[in-house]
Structure 1
Amino acid sequence: MRHPARSPLLVFGAAAFALVGTAVAPVVTASGAAPACTVEYSVTSQWDNGFQGSVNITNNAAAVSSWSLTFDLVGGQKVTQGWNAKWSQSGTTVTAANESYNGSLGTGASVGAGFLASWSGSNTAPTAFRLNGTACNVDSEPSPDPPDPTDPPDPTDPPDPTDPPDPTGGPPVLKVSGNKLVDETGATRRLLGVNRSGGEFMCVQGHGIFDGPVDDASVKAIADWNANTVRIPLNEECWLGLSHIKPEYGGANYIAAVKALVAKVKAHGMTPMLELHWSHGQYTGNSAGCSDVYASCQKPMPNMRYTPTFWASVASTFKDDGTVVFDLFNEPYPDRATSTATQAWTCWRDGGTCPGIGFEVAGMQDLIDAIRGTGARNPILAGGLAYANDLSQWLTYKPTDPLGNLAAAWHVYNFNTCSNESCWSSTLAPVAAQVPLVAGEIGENTCAHSFIDRVMAWFDARGLSYLGWTWNTWDCGSGPALISNYNGTPTSFGIGLRDRLRSLDG
């Protein structure tokens, strides 16, 4: 889907940065006793006036249900933002307090968090850390005698604040079975939810990483609609940290932000779907979204220069997490560049030199191979031609997945060619009979929901999956915006999806 205009100019000239090794504060163990907690502090990148830092906290004491780490930055550094913790600073003292999804820290458990900060003069590393008031990296105090198990409990004692909370069920590990997505028990699962746009365009435009808040409250608001899936569009240049991307919005910072959002989505029991939206490669032909070589708009196909590398990196990052789904490429449209359907579908599957496209194309097969080459077993979605609206020859040109864990993606808006029940029955139903079918984007440009009501009714009748575009507070006249506030207040368009999701069991 096209996006409301942000900035017509991209921001270039990002300062070069240097990688700095991990600095571990010395662990004092004169008596041989294990420290109550251990903290590893590192500066992972540094540039002219700023740096990225991280802490890895290990709790060696009793389990806690919440945590707060404090340390002093004595070189004049100022924390500007962070992730995986609530960061604040008073004078030289920095505090990182847990988020709602990572407060439980059992004995021997670890948690990591990162931040961006400014610096000048010196970037001295902190040497002392305290976790919930207890000094880390130093001998722990002798433990008191254990209680006598024969002593009856005192009914006046308050509850132990270190007791961990009840665990919250996360999303299922999914796989393809025939034409269904199933969980580890073999039960059929539908992907029903929303898109969360922003990660594809904010970074390349130099404004940030996400458009609007992605804190726990805003993610919970999605779950409150009874959504079970969140599709997260990405930008390959930002993930790879190319030189024209501001370092604070690219590379390690971008990856950490995506990982943090995935963790929040999972904490609310929803499936994260990671999708490549904007990619590198200059295209100025029919229906070009921009003339820019950079990933600043939708291109007709992904490219061999960066896209397989992007997917290999994403897959390596999440290959041990079977709850994450991969969507290869947002909306292919090689059919607008080539003269025949055969050329377009061949380009879609095989890539290479495609008529009308001036860069070497990465086909869907190339991307599947890049993902599977990492050992990742995650489910993969592949959208068809005509901005993913045409699946008429998807089965004929279906790429090969050695794991058989491949599904079809489809997008529909009221202005698309295949936007009626007759087309859906003739072109979608045959695909859905053989592989899982996911409508990754559904929407309309009317600021109402009569069209998506028809789409959802057709998909519900067949037990198929769909995701609304988009969980952003844009004017619905410039793009189908589901909400007017990140607390989940729906627009007149969003009411249709919200009420439908709430009426379903999942």
Structure 2
Amino acid sequence: MRHPPRSGVLVVAGAIALVGTAVVPVVTAQAAAPACTVEYSVVSRWDSGFQGAVKITNNASAVSSWSLAFDFTDGQKVSQGWNAKWSQSGTTVTAANESYNGSLGTGASVSAGFIASWSGGNAVPTTFKLNGTTCNTDVEPSQSPTPTPTEPPSDGKAPSLHVSGNKLVDADGVTRRLLGVNRSGGEFMCVQGYGIWDGPVDDAAIKAIADWKVNTVRIPLNEECWLGLSNIKPEYAGANYINAVKDLVARVEANGMTPIVELHWTYGQYTGNSAGCTDVHATCQKPMPDMQYTPSFWSSVASTFKDDPAVAFDLFNEPYPDRATSTTTQAWQCWRDGGTCSGIGYEVAGVQDLVDSIRNAGAKNLILAGGLAYSNDLSEWLTYKPTDPAGNLAAAYHVYNFNTCANESCWNSTLAPVAAQVPLVAGEIGENTCSHSFVDQVMKWFDDRGLSYLGWTWNTWDCSSGPSLISNYDGTPTSYGIGLRDHLRALNG
């Protein structure tokens, strides 16, 4: 969110959710040069339902559309699905391609998933047909399929993440999604002289977050507090602030969740269009990070966490150089390259400068970079994508019901192309209605494509004046928070 917080059962996508539950066997097709192969897996299950997934590989001639059919013999019923158009007639289930994934070349694969009910039995389908051709997925009934890792072990450890194509994967190559919340406070409490965190961050408070089946916590920070600049009270600055952040990161990881440390408020005086404040200090959202302090901030953060690959770095909360510059091209150039930017009175640190600061410090951690218009515009993100020698860069996106790009048409035209090339993480989703009808739509679109998202925010503010997920730090949800909580619990059991 760009304004100061204080002044004075849908679906999971085809990628596997980042939750700690038992590994479920995956039945893998194996045959001599079959026309097609199918991997079928039960990702998670509960008393009356389960989440399933299929991976289809076409070994024959390329096709421009596909349809997979199989039968459930125990009365299972598909209720929802993603990455395919799912339907069921009697015992026969059909998954037909979506408009964006119909092309399947020789050797190409596509994955899709579904939610289904079951009662009494949940036998694995034995025959799969792709466009009418039987695929080889036979497994001897007397054999137990060899388990293939599809979910993290429930050992309480946060996974090490890295980019593989357009997915995030862990050290074992298992696809992960980041599904969680923001924990605001570290960006504003210290600079306003109140403390470091807004509300408790002890073990009980972090466990309450995990109890929502959250797997990721984004932690907004303030560069002046981290660097210990003279305008910050000493008890909230420098080593005291850094140690508090390290402690919170450790608690998040101890609950098996991914911590994202994110730079929210920065130095530099900006009084132009959409200025949040006139103060030179880091007391509001600026249009871009500053060259004076931000590279030093990220170099220090990178040095602090470079030996912990479970920590992800979000470069800058919500850039908006497009509000200051004359043209969109100038804005994207400013975003990537920094320097002297039209309409911004201080020297800007571009996202390339920040990536370089992190990598030069020896950190190979996952990096997230948001686009223009308060991270709501990714239309030219691929064109201006910074160079990352570690190859561990993802796109960040923010969306609220009052943003410009807040509908499926915009998501299809501007987000889908990005998500096809790099991992896409919606670092903030929310609405100012104290309800969840809009975020329900967002989660559905992101689920259908196996993408990541985090709700704003895990703080006990009045949800009628902003998107606050909880009314108590024990995890009591607001009417808005109920949407995210129930959704994550339905996904992850």
Confirm or deny a common fold (TM above 0.5): yes
> Residue 437 of structure 2 is aligned with which of 446, 450, 474?
450
Matched residue, 1:238? 225
Instruction: Report if the CA contact (8 A) 2:178-2:453 is conserved.
Output: yes
1:437 and 1:465 in contact (8 A); partners too: yes
Q: What secondary structure is seen at the aligned counterpart in 1 of 2:443?
A: helix
Distance 1:447 1:389 in 2: 21
- For residue 369 of structure 2, the aligned residue among 372, 379, 382 is 382
Could you report, residue by residue, the CA deviation over 1:113-170 in whole angstroms, capped at 9, with x for unpaired residues? xxxxxxxxxxxxxxxxxxxxxxxxxxxxxxxxxxxxxxxxxxxxxxxxxxxxxx9430
Provide the rounded CA distance (Å) in 1 between the counterparts of 2:209 and 2:297: 28
Match of 2:208 in 1: 221
2:305, 2:190 → 1: CA distance?
A: 21
Contact 1:308 1:370 (C-alpha < 8 Å) held by counterparts: yes
The separation in 2 between residues aligned to 1:5 and 1:238, in whole angstroms, is 17
The answer (yes or no) to whether the contact 2:4–2:188 under 8 Å persists in 1 is: no
State the distance in 1 between where 2:260 and 2:438 align: 24
Residue equivalent to 1:352: 339
Provide TM-score, normalisation by structure 2.
0.70
The 1-side partners of 2:5 and 2:486 are apart by 29
Counterpart code for 2:441: R
Indicate yes or no: 2:369 matched with 1:369. no
Instruction: Give the Cα separation in 2 of the matches to 1:428 and 1:488.
Output: 32
Partner of 1:180: 167
Q: Distance in 2 between matches of 1:415 and 1:441?
A: 13
| Distance in 1 separating the partners of 2:4 and 2:434 | 15
The reply to whether residue 497 of structure 1 matches residue 484 of structure 2 is yes
Structure whose alpha-carbon radius of gyration is higher: 1
1:3 deviates by 4.3
CA distance in 1, matches of 2:400, 2:226: 29
RMSD, matched Cα: 1.2
User: In the alignment, does 2:291 pair up with 1:321?
Assistant: no
Superposed CA offset, 1:50-85 (max 9, x none): xxxxxxxxxxxxxxxxxxxxxxxxxxxxxxxxxxxx
- AA aligned opposite 2:395: A
1:256 paired residue number: 243
Q: Which residue of 2 aligns with 1:2?
A: 2
Contact 1:438 1:465 in 2 (8 A): yes
Shift of 1:226: 0.3
Contact 1:3–1:479 (Cα < 8 Å) also in 2 = no
Cross-structure match for 2:421:
434
| Equivalent in the alignment of 2:267 | 280
What one-letter code is carried by the residue in structure 2 that aligns with 1:349? R
> Are the counterparts in 1 of residues 3 and 285 from structure 2 also a CA contact under 8 Å?
no
1:397 aligned residue (366, 384, 391): 384
Which consecutive residues of structure 1, in runs of 5 or more, have no partner in the other structure? Answer: 9-166
Contact kept in structure 1, 2:224 and 2:267, CA below 8 Å: yes
Question: Is 1:411 equivalent to 2:394 in the alignment?
Answer: no
1:296-311 equivalences in 2 (<5 Å): 296-311=283-298
Whole-angstrom CA distance in 2 between matches of 1:290 and 1:298: 8
Q: Structure 2: how far apart are the matches of 1:197 and 1:5? A: 8
- Quote the sequence identity (%): 81
Query: 1:294 corresponds to which residue?
Result: 281
SS in 2 for 1:398: coil
Q: 1:474 aligns with which of 452, 455, 461?
A: 461
1:466-506 CA deviation, whole Å, 9 max, x = no partner? 00000000001221000000000000000000011111139
Match of 2:102 in 1: none
Structure 1 position 345, deviation (Å): 0.1
Where 1:428 maps in the other structure, the secondary structure is helix
Q: Report deviation, 1:6.
A: 2.9
For residues 417-458 of structure 1, what are the alpha-carbon distances to aligned partners after superposition, in whole Å with 9 as ceiling and x for unaligned?
000000000000000000000000000000000000000000
Partner of 2:62: none
Superposition deviation, residue 194 in structure 1: 0.1
Corresponding letter in the other structure for 2:324 = A
Within 5 Å, give how 1:87-106 maps onto structure 2: none
**Which residue of structure 1 aligns with residue 190 of structure 2?**
203
In structure 2, what is the Cα distance between the partners aligned to 1:344 and 1:187?
Answer: 37
- SS at 1:269 equivalent: coil
How many residues align? The count is 349
For 1:217 and 1:5, how far apart are their aligned partners in 2? 24
> Where does structure 2 lack aligned partners over 5 or more consecutive residues?
9-153
Distance 1:326 1:2 in 2: 19
State yes or no: 1:485 paired with 2:472.
yes
Whole-angstrom distance in 2 between the partners of 1:324 and 1:182:
14
TM-score, structure 1 normalization? 0.68
Kindly tell me: are residues 219 and 436 of structure 1, through their superposed partners in 2, closer, same or farther at Cα, counting changes over 3 Å? Answer: same
Amino acid of the residue matched to residue 322 of structure 1? P
The answer to whether the 8 A contact 2:4-2:284 is kept is: no
Task: Give the secondary-structure state (helix, strand or coil) at the position aligned to 1:454.
Answer: helix
1:161 is matched with which residue? none
2:322 paired residue among 335, 339, 356: 335
Aligned AA for 1:432?
A
Report the alpha carbon displacement of residue 5 of structure 1 after superposing the two structures with TM. Answer: 5.2
Structure-2 separation of matches of 1:501 and 1:463: 14
3-state DSSP of counterpart to 2:175: coil
- Report the Cα offset of residue 403 of structure 1: 1.1
Q: Residue 37 of structure 1 corresponds to which residue in structure 2?
A: none
Aligned equivalents of 1:478, 1:313: Cα separation in 2 = 35
Q: Which amino acid is the alignment partner of residue 460 of structure 2?
A: T
SS at match of 1:503: helix
The residue aligned with 1:80 is: none
Task: Tell me: CA distance 1:232–1:320, structure 2 relative to 1, closer, same or farther (3 Å).
Answer: same
Q: For 1:232-255, what per-residue CA distance to the aligned partner results, in whole angstroms no more than 9, with x for missing partners?
A: 000000000000100000000000
CA distance in 2, matches of 1:5, 1:316: 29
Q: Deviations over 1:179-227 (max 9, x none)?
A: 0000011110000000000000000000000000001111000000000
Q: 1:477 to 1:2 in 2, by over 3 A?
A: farther
